[in-house]
Amino acid sequence: KAGELTHFLQLMAGSFASLFESKGITYHYTVSLQPAWVQMDSDKLEQIISNLLSNAYKFTPTKGQVRFSASVEPEQTGTCELQLIVEDTGIGIAEQQLPRIFDRFYQVDDSTTRSYEGTGIGLALVNELVELHNGHIQVESTLGSGTTFRIHLPLEIVPAGERPGQKGPELEIPVSEPSIP
Ligand code: ATP
Ligand code: MG
C-alpha cells in the first residue's frame, strides 16, 4: 500500500511519549524523511517500532533516556532506505548474549524470579519482518550502560503522480461489458 511515512511515524513515535513519561524516562524522537511517499505495510512497520520501543521502555530504568529517530536515504531511482534508530541508556546486554537475542523465546534473564515481563518473541518477530523486507538490523550494546538498535529497510518510492489523493477523478470502469448487437 502507498502511504505517507512522516505522518505515520510521527504519530507512532508520539504515541509512546506518555508511557516513557510515566516511568520518568526522558524520550526524544525525530522523524525527518525526504521522499516520504513509499510503498509500505504500516502494520508491520508498527510492529517493528513498537517492539523496539517497548523493549527500550522495559529495560531502561527511571531517569534513563530513550531516543527514536527515523530518516530516509535516497538509493537508486525509485527506491530509498528507511533508517530507524532506537537508543536507550538501559541495562544493556552482555556481548556473549548479543547473538542470541533474536532467537525465539530467548531472554537474557530467564529465571522465574526475573523482574521483566515478556516471552522473548518480540525481537524474533522484528528480525523476521525486517528480513522479509530485505532489510537488516544492527545492535550495539554495553552491559550496564545502554543499547542501540539500527534498522535499515529498503522501500519503494511512490512516483508523484501515483500518490493517493493527488490523482484526478478515478477512471470510470463500466460495470458490464457493453453488448455488441
Ligand atoms: P516480549 O518481547 O515477547 O514481550 P522480551 O521483551 O523479553 O519479551 P524480546 O523483545 O525478544 O523479548 O527481547 C529478548 C531479550 O533481549 C530480552 O528478554 C532482553 O533480555 C534483551 N533485550 C531486548 N531489548 C533490550 C534492551 N533495549 N535493553 C536490554 N536488553 C534488551
Ligand atoms: Mg520485547
**pLDDT (tens digit, 9 = 90+) per residue, 133-158?**
999 999 999 999 999 999 999 999 88
In this structure, the residues whose C-beta lies within 6 A of any atom of ligand 1 are 51, 55-56, 59, 88, 90-93, 101, 106-108, 118-124, 147
Q: Relative to the CA of 125, which ligand 1 atom is closest?
A: 11
Rounded CA separation 30/87 (Å)? 12
Q: In angstroms, rounded to a whole number, what is the distance separating the alpha carbons of residues 170 and 168?
A: 6
Which residue in 70, 72, 64, 59 sits closest to 101, CA to CA? 59
Distances (CA, A) of 175 to 40, 78, 168, 171, 180: 30, 34, 20, 12, 15
What band does 76 get if pLDDT is binned at 50, 70 and 90?
confident
Among 74-78, 144-148, 168-172, the range with the most confident prediction by mean pLDDT is 144-148
Torsion angle (degrees, nearest 10) of CA 53, 59, 62, 63: -70
Rounded Cα distance between 92 and 146, Å, is 4
pTM of the model: 0.89
Our mutation pick for probing the ligand 1 site, out of 66, 119, 123, 129, counting the most ligand atoms within 8 A of Cβ, is 123
Nearest CA to ligand 1 atom 16: 101
ipTM: 0.99
When pLDDT is averaged across residues 39-57 and rounded to a whole number, the result is 94
Give the mean pLDDT of 92-111.
93
With beta carbons less than 8 A apart as the criterion, state whether 31 and 70 touch: yes
Q: What backbone phi and psi angles, to 5 degrees, belong to 51?
A: -65, -45
What are the grid coordinates assigned to 121, written together? 518473541
Query: pLDDT band for position 41 (50/70/90)?
Result: confident
Residue 174 has pLDDT above 60, yes or no: no
CA-closest residue to ligand 1 atom 4: 118
* CA torsion angle 85 36 159 2 (round to 10): 80
Choice between 20 and 75, residue whose per-residue pLDDT is larger: 20
DSSP one-letter code for 157: B
